[in-house]
Amino acid sequence: MARTRKKQITKEHPEGGKPIPAPEAPSDLTLEAEIFQRRRPVPEKLLKYGFQKGDSDSVYRCRTAIMDGAFNCEITVTEQGEVSGRVTDAAASEDYLPLRIPGSGAYAASVREAYRELLLDIAGQGFQEVLFPGDQANRITAEILKRYDVRPDFPWQENPSQNRYRSYGVFRHQDSGKWFALIMNVREDVIFKNGSVKPLDIVNLKAAPDDMPDLLRRPGIFPGYHMNHRHWISVILSGELPDPDIMSLIEESRRLTSGPAKRQRRSLQDAGL
């Protein structure tokens, strides 16, 4: 009997060579994290929507009902953009636990969908969209655009089966299409091997093998996640490494991933020839 080989999901290699596996999926996101991970609150829009700011804290709260009043919802938004929600059964005054349990029945699914629609409405009217979950990732993206006139593309954004990777952005050379940077939002565990499911922004960059020992001794720099550890590094985008230092690493990655002719021209320019 012929064996059936399991198809592996892959994406093109940044250097245009062999495909590499698509990044591993992070842990399941809550409805709130799924919808708001690439959005930032706009205070005046939240207030216009109906949120109220607490007198003793910097938290915005909104209370409303769904399913014709059968369920009460309380949505909380911090100034940092963290969104949480509580859905209670209006009759029992208790948290509606099936909301968070997929496959818990058709009625629970209808409640979950109504809650999702509420969150999407809040996201559309009270938030602004950003490219990446983290602030440093968005600052670096803006600087890449300013220096190189390059915007990221999102290869996994339109594929429903790769929905968890939709915020993974690829930065390419305009002439060759080769990658020189890949920003991802992953579990903290994939870098620190600590079991944490906390989300973490990282950027994968190419580096010279001779520079690897020194680079890996620097805080915030690790062997390339899902890449050849001899040639690639992963840099944490949490503010630990300053933006100018990251941009220097990006410049080197662009040089190393450029075509031979382009590298030769750059070498001649650096030599003043």
Q: Note the pLDDT tens digit of each residue in 69-118.
A: 999 999 999 988 899 999 999 999 999 999 999 888 999 999 999 999 99
- The listed range with the strongest mean pLDDT (154-158, 160-164, 212-216) is 212-216
pTM: 0.69
Q: Report the candidate in 14, 12, 11 with the shortest Cα–Cα distance to residue 22.
A: 11
Locate CATH 3.90.1150.30 in the chain: 132-270
> With pLDDT > 90 as the criterion, what percentage of the chain qualifies?
65
Fold entry, domain 31-129: Lp2179-like fold (3.30.1820)
pLDDT given for residue 80 in this prediction: 83
Element spanning 34, H or E: helix 31-36
Residue 147 backbone phi and psi in degrees, to 5: -80, -40
**What's 227's DSSP letter?**
S
> Is pLDDT of 51 > 70?
yes
pLDDT given for residue 79 in this prediction: 86
Three-class SS state of 252: helix
Contact 51, 123 (CB under 8 A): no
pLDDT band, residue 162 (cuts 50/70/90): low
The per-residue pLDDT of the chain, averaged, comes to 85
Contact 241, 137 (CB under 8 A): no
Locate CATH 3.30.1820 in the chain: 31-129
pLDDT band, residue 264 (cuts 50/70/90): very low
pLDDT given for residue 174 in this prediction: 93
Selected residue with higher pLDDT from 133 and 246: 246
Residue 126 backbone phi and psi in degrees, to 5: -115, 0
pLDDT band, residue 10 (cuts 50/70/90): very low
Residue 170: CB partners within 8 Å, gap ≥ 6?
Answer: 14, 152, 153, 154, 155, 179, 181, 182
At the second CATH level, the architecture of 132-270 is: Alpha-Beta Complex (3.90)
User: Rounded to an integer, what distance in angstroms lies between the CA atom of residue 147 and that of residue 135?
Assistant: 19
